[in-house]
Homo-oligomer: A and B are copies of this chain.
Amino acid sequence: MATIRDVAKLAGVSVATISRFLNKNGYVNEDTKLKVEQAIKTLQYEPNAIARGLAGRKTGTIALIFPDITNPFFAELARAVEDVARMYGYTVILCNSDNQADKEQTYIKVLKQRYVDGILFASYNLRSDDVEALKNEKIPLVMLDRAPRDASCSVVSSKHLEGAQMAVQHLMDVGCKKIAHIYGPQETVTGRERLIGYEQSVKHLPWYSPSLVEPGYFRVDGGMAAVENLMQRHPDIDGIFAGNDTMALGALKKLQRMGLHVPDQVALCGFDGIDLTLIVEPEITTVSQPIYDMGMLSTRLLIKKIEGDIKEEQTHLFDVKLITRGSTERKRNDE
């Protein structure tokens, strides 16, 4: 592998000139440029990114810390992040935290050692002092769907509360008279806000009861178990709002297994808008977040912070959209 000194020698100039040429900073004479270009070509020179990183303390690397790539929501997010990163010449390091605080901490330590230029964080447990620590070390950070308590930092999220209310309203619109909610982990902003949205929408209604909510842990099996419990307690439930699509998929499966027709006997609505809602029959109505867009925007935001185009912290709240599908499409809208 040729080095910058080889190129300098061949072109008959100093390494500084080569560096200036490569980074397009400082003056380089047109004739010199030609000579340098020629030398680079003949030597097939590629600048060494590691050396660059050491000298310039910029590695062209960003890290994505999130619970689990196996979760389709995060997979789509990761895809968006990588696409944007590649466009800007950055490389993405993948970190599955499983929402475990110790893994997150280990990653942060390792990432610092590796001089990552910035971190995109979509896991649960980042504490305010971690955020502060990163800030002190001048490592840009963007949080996805969760904001630390005290510390200020850039956040990209969407309107969970409003989305939950849209979901419940839609279920009522198609004629549901007793709507249950399967909620996600209350340590998460998403799980919490969607539950609150549900409660605000229904707590004043005559049929409401606190026993109409059941945890589903954002998992398929959680959704299945929740349906079982709910239907046992309230056999007359005719609408279910699941706190995310994964749980909705579990709910659908369980309902079908119990011989209940969806949507005629029980209508079902999820949240997130992952593609999997389309592979089942009936397809699942869902409140969709623009996942890919969220990934794109947060990555762009991060890169802008890295490159100094943005100094202040920003918050972006995306709109959500109700997508009605088979799981709430009733033949007769009785009432």
Contact = CB atoms under 8 A, between A and B. Distances in A.
Contacts of A94: 64, 78, 82, 92-94
A69 B72 contact: no
Contacts of A79: 68-70, 96
Given A48-B113, A53-B50, A112-B46, A279 B250 contact: yes
A75 B249 CA distance: 19
B276 A257 contact: no
Q: Give the bracket for the number of chain A residues in contact with chain B.
A: 35 or more
A309 B83 CA distance: 35
Secondary structure call for the A interface: helix
Nearest to A110: B91
Interface of A: 1, 46-51, 53-54, 59, 64, 68-70, 72, 75-76, 78-79, 82-83, 91-96, 109-110, 112-115, 137, 220, 249-250, 252-253, 256-257, 275-276, 278-281
Given A46-B109, A91-B110, A92-B94, 14 more contacts: A1-B137, A47-B113, A49-B115, A50-B50, A50-B114, A68-B79, A69-B69, A69-B79, A70-B275, A78-B94, A253-B279, A276-B276, A276-B279, A280-B281
